[in-house]
Amino acid sequence: MWGNSEVRHVEELKVTTVGQGHSYGSYKDDLQARLKRIEGQVRGIQKMIDNDRYCVDILVQLAAVKSALQQVALMLLESHTRGCVVDAITSHAGAEEKIDELMEVIRRFTKS
């Protein structure tokens, strides 16, 4: 759905609430594919260490994994905001709690 180096706004997707407030249902397969790709990258890094590869080469791969994970996190954060948080605000059902939850997640991501 998204290219490797770009994240399109979730508004381009159908954002639906699934289960207990999950709004990523319409692109769950894309998230899973990205996570499997990241898993493969991590396994590759393990092999690089097993094969005593040059430190800088390993660090470059670690940076790529970190970036890929950040993209997945941003996709989920945007989906949560546009789906779960907007739903809570427009329905006035737990809006303050959802906003507090969102702010806590943002705080966690800005620490890293």
Q: Tell me the per-residue pLDDT of 50-89, one tens digit each, with 9 for 90 and over.
A: 999 999 999 999 999 999 999 999 999 999 899 889 888 9
Name the band, by pLDDT with cuts 50, 70 and 90, for residue 6: very low
Pick the CATH number of 27-111 from 3.90.550.10, 3.90.25.10, 1.20.58.1000, 1.10.580.10: 1.20.58.1000
Question: What mean pLDDT is predicted for residues 19-36?
Answer: 82
CB contact burial 70-107 (16+ within 10 A = b; e otherwise):
ebbeebbbbbbbbbbbebbeeeeebeeebeeebeeeee
Q: Where are the domains of the chain?
A: 27-111
For residue 17, pLDDT beyond 80: no
Residue 30: pLDDT band by 50, 70, 90 thresholds?
very high
CA distance 2 to 110: 24
Local confidence band at 100 (pLDDT 50, 70, 90 cut-offs): very high
